[in-house]
Chains A and B, each alone.
Chain A
């Protein structure tokens, strides 16, 4: 069954409380990120992880195969997740090491 992305206002401008999605991220891009996201069972059975450029994302379930997502600063991504993202071919070793040192969200959405 395919995953479906649905935005969650908790992660959207202007009134979100949590980690905020880039303003320019559109639904198609978010769905693409979700489609290629990986699951890392040793970290969590209910989360998915994805990456694009310098942006790392986590997705949580909102319902039956419905997901919402939000960005995560690279240094806060578990190393087991980075390893899985590298094994899935979503990042190279060099990019992984660079992003694992990231302390703030990137400035602009690519």
Chain B
């Protein structure tokens, strides 16, 4: 099978598509289907996600099929694929690692009456249709790859381990993983590849009208002013579009898209970056949240600013970076094995605004807003039901301030898995340094020792036992047992 077209779009070490077109060995289907017969590869962070092996055969990088259904699907879902950020409702509270995991974990519906359950499954299926490569065409043996916007990145996750293709004897080589690629780059590769392939095929088959229609569709495909709505939760977007109280927000968002949209891609604004992390269902909530995030006027101390070192979240084991940053911060601040000082006072001394009043917002734990390099505010929400102490909540906020690339973080049901894990690990490691734990326990984890630790570092039962488990000093069963026994002591 010789290729009459072969080209790579993008950089394999970031995100790339390689498309080749050739003769259909078993001609069938429409003229357009046959004209676009060929193969394609998907690359993300140096991994070929389409690499597969069939029983008794060698390894192949490409999926062999017509590009027609793939391109038709992309023309339909492209804007949402690139921009839709929050998961649908009822995902909250789930410790969802990535979009593959989301589909897996939502297979069992929440507790709903039959009518609402039906609606939920339709919504879940609709989300999958707009994000999972396999939904491009059921006829193709495709890897289970899901694309989902997350801030200014697109998370590319795959699970071929639990979700083999509908082609017995074929396995995709990379079983499970996730990477983040720049959303703008991702969107540009998709659009450039689609347009170039269709341009070439229309030139070779000028009489196939369906190809020309698809080419024209791609040539006019671009994000519109209202496409910021995919970046935030659906009810929040509907309110901003319709509520008179929010007309200024709406105008700012439309203007933002008009100025910054590029092809399929819509950049997050300060507002959407914040609103994607909490599901708000009233105009008053939206106004209150934006008001706090934009109005705080803390002027950060230059010494504190030097401690702020934003870094991308590593997709695998993000908590390790949190643990390491906590240890290095202790060294930099000379805290060594001492207890952390009262964090609310300490953060205020650093110039950080801390708001503890009820702003009338839903039950998120804390909101962290770094408006610029020189200003930061934290809202500790009194409505939150805290499992950990307010101190650990503030330390988590500090973790976000020091490590996040994004200017805002909201700890709660809709937080980013990786950022949340990293910041929480930071908080617990900051309060409970490993060296101090070893010093206090001296090789023996018992109730007395753990109580001494809690007194020394001012931590609660949950945070302390979780830290011991995370360090590998006790099993999960021992953690639960200790937590139960220590809670009885009050």
Task: Note all chain A residues with C-beta closer than 8 A to B168.
Answer: 20, 105
Taking CB as reference atom, which chain B residue is nearest A43?
B129
Name the residue among A9, A17, A19, A104 with the largest chain B CB count within 10 angstroms. Answer: A17
Taking the nearest CB of chain B, how far is it from the CB of A56, in angstroms? 9
The answer to whether A70 and B166 touch across the interface, beta carbons within 8 angstroms, is yes
Number of A-B contacts (CB under 8 A): 75
User: Contacts A9-B26, A11-B139, A60-B139 given: A72-B166 contact, CB under 8 Å?
Assistant: yes
Which of A62, A80, A103 contacts B122, CB < 8 Å?
A80
Query: Are B164 and A18 neighbours in the complex by a CB distance under 8 Å?
Result: no
Nearest chain A CB to B279 CB, angstrom units: 22
* Contact between chains at B121 and A72 (CB < 8 Å): no
Evaluate whether A79 and B121 lie within 8 angstroms (CB atoms) in the complex, with A17-B64, A18-B139 already known.
yes
- Which residue of chain B has its CB nearest to the CB of A6? B28
Of the residues A19, A72, A75, A78, contact of B107 by C-beta under 8 Å: A75
B111-138 contacts to A, CB under 8 A, are 118, 121-122, 124-126, 129, 132, 134-135, 138
A3 CB-CB contact with B under 8 Å = no
Does B65 sit within 8 A of A, measured CB to CB? yes
Complex CA–CA separation, A16 to B169 (angstroms): 11
B1–chain A nearest beta-carbon distance, Å: 11
Within 8 A of B (CB), among A67-108: 68, 70-73, 75-80, 82-83, 100-101, 103-105
Chain A residue contacts of B28, Cβ below 8 A:
8, 10, 62, 68
Interface assignment of B163: CB less than 8 Å from any CB of chain A: yes
Residues of chain B with a CB closer than 8 A to A17's CB: 64-65, 140-141
B29 contacts chain A at the CB level, 8 A cutoff? yes
The docked-state distance in angstroms from the alpha carbon of A104 to that of B170 is 12
Q: Whole-angstrom distance from the CB of B24 to the nearest CB of chain A?
A: 9
CB contacts (< 8 Å) of B449 on chain A: these are none
Give every chain A residue within 8 A of B129 (Cβ-Cβ).
Answer: 78
B167 contacts partner chain A, Cβ-Cβ < 8 Å: yes
Question: Which of these, B124, B135, B138, B167, contacts A20 with CB under 8 Å?
Answer: B167
**B165 interface residue per 8 A CB criterion:** yes
| Measured CA separation A17–B39 after assembly (Å) | 11
Asked if B65 and A18 make an inter-chain contact with CB atoms under 8 angstroms apart, the answer reads: yes
A33 in contact (CB, < 8 A)? no
In this assembly, does B372 line the interface, its C-beta being within 8 Å of a C-beta of chain A?
Answer: no
| Residue B162 is within 8 A (CB to CB) of chain A in the complex | yes
Q: Give the complex CA separation of A73 and B129 in angstroms.
A: 14
CB-defined contacts of A70 to chain B, threshold 8 Å:
138-139, 166
Residues of A within 8 A of B26 (CB): 8-10
**A79 lies within 8 A of B167 (CB):** no
Q: How far is the CB of B252 from chain A (nearest CB, A)?
A: 35
- Interface residues of chain B, those whose CB is within 8 Å of chain A, are 26, 28-29, 64-65, 103, 107, 118, 121-122, 124-126, 129, 132, 134-135, 138-141, 162-168
Binding site for B on A (CB under 8 A): 8-11, 16-20, 58, 60, 62, 68, 70-73, 75-80, 82-83, 100-101, 103-105
- In the A-B complex, list the 7 residue pairs whose CB atoms are closest, starting with the nearest: A79-B125, A19-B166, A72-B138, A9-B26, A17-B64, A79-B121, A79-B122
Please name 10 further chain A to chain B contacts, defined as beta carbons within 8 Å, in addition to the given A19-B167, A78-B135, sorted by A numbering: A8-B26, A19-B139, A19-B165, A20-B141, A58-B138, A75-B163, A76-B138, A80-B125, A82-B121, A83-B118
